[in-house]
Structures are given as structure tokens and as C-alpha cells.
Amino acid sequence: MRVSSSVVLALPALAAAQAQIPIVDKIMGFFNQAKDAVTSAIPAAPSSAAEAAASKAAAAVVYELTPENWKQVLTADATAGAPTTQDWVVYINGGESTCYGMCGNATKAWNASVALISAKPSAPKLATLDCEAHQILCNEWSVGPPSIYYMQLPQPLADQSAPGPTVRFISLSRNATTVDTITKIVLDKEYEDTPPYEGMFHPFTGLLQQYGVATPFAYVMWGFAKMPSWLPMILISFFSRSFMGRRQPGGPPAAAAPAQ
């Protein structure tokens, strides 16, 4: 097969053009090609890996509350001079039975926001409460997931007097909560838009805590939650019938005996 004369004439020009390309550019081009080949061969890290890393990082700086330790954990900084106030942000989450398996989105946002919150000067302390594992404490506080409990605990004065702790309960959307949602609540102080809670379920000054019946009440509520839906109706029917039966008058008086 004959080679076209135009092709033969083009070969010297092509070689000359290649000779004019600096050697550094050739090396960089080869390097970029190799890098692209390696990058395409390695699959991208799954998002679950990033989420796991955020969760692990959050666990390192976040306290986990339980019915046994929360009173010892949620305190003011003893090393700070009075009068000061220690802020606490408690993220309340749950699982299948307490959040219907729909707390995952809010929990991801919480884990990702922990680093942003912790990096700020004078950042509040952070804690979590899992209602799936510690339903008694959630009943004691009458809270449900997903939500945030923003607490401000004053340091006692020298005479041990101190104003009452301020708590604010803020519900979170199961589907629409983002990192921006949580950081605005904490860092932009949007928690101040929520009025302080002062009811009977207040974790520190509520009537149930003052009279020492918060935990027994929580167990009663837990028992009602575990009770089958049909059982209360049967119990109410049984007691109502017993009560009505006792109030019914006795039978007709006995007939007088005939005279002898």
C-alpha cells in the first residue's frame, strides 16, 4: 500500500511541533492523565462514611444523659466565678417506638452541627438524650424526639442562693431540620424566641421534682404506654359495673310471717 505524499510531508512538521513542547509540560500532562485514571478507578466515599465520622466526632464532645447521671452532668461550671450561667444544649432523639424511625435526618444535622457549635468561643456544653434507651427520663421531663432542650443553669452565689434554671423546649421537624436550623437556634440565639418553660415537668424546679414523684410518675406513664389499647376499656368497664352494682338497692323486703 502506498503512503500518500501529503502524509509523508506532514511527518517532519509534526515531529518539529512535538519538539517545541517543553519537557515540563509533557511531564505534567502525563501526570494529570495518570491522576485522572487513578481517581476514576477509586470509587467515591459513600455518604454513610461521612455521617459515621460526624457521629463519632460528636460523641467525643457530647455527654450522654441517663436517668442515673443527668443530675450530676447538667450542672454549672464549678470553676467559674459567680455569678455566671452555664448553657447546655440537649438534643433529644429516638428510635422506632419513640420517633417512628423518623429521627435520622435530624440526628444527622445534629452530628454535623456539633463541630460548628463547639468551635465558637464560650460555646454551650452539649448533651444527648435517647428516648428509645431512656424512656423513663423522657417521661420524667415530658419530652419527645426530635427536639432541643436549651438550659441555662446559674452558678450559686457564696451563700448558695441562685436564681432558678431557665429551660426552653424547642421541637424540631423530622424532615426539614438541617445544620443551619440547629446552628441558628444555638449560635444565633433563636432559642430566645421560645418562652421559658415553667410547668410541672420542669427538670429542676417543677412540682414533680420538688415533691420527689417525677420518677414514679414517669414509670406510671411508661406502664400506660406499654398497656394494650383494649385493656383500659376492659378495666373501666369492670370498675364501673362494680361501682354501679354496689349502689343498687337490695332486693324487696321479705314478707311478714303469718300470724299464728
DSSP, res 162: -
Domains (range + CATH), the chain: 48-197 (3.40.30.10)
> How much is the mean pLDDT over the chain?
78
Q: What are phi and psi of 254, to 5 degrees?
A: -65, 145
CB 166 within 8 A of CB 191: no
* Range of weakest confidence among 78-92, 159-173, 235-249: 235-249
DSSP string, 94-133: --HHHHTT--HHHHHHHHHHHHHHHTSTTPPEEEEEETTT
Q: Is the pLDDT of residue 36 over 70?
A: no
Which pLDDT value is given to residue 155? Answer: 81
Q: Is the pLDDT of residue 205 over 90?
A: yes
CB 66 within 8 A of CB 137: yes
pTM of the model: 0.68
CB 163 within 8 A of CB 202: no
Distances in Å between the Cα of 117 and the Cα atoms of 82, 120, 173, 193 are 24, 6, 20, 19
Query: 8-35, pLDDT tens digit by residue?
Result: 444 444 444 444 444 444 444 444 454 4
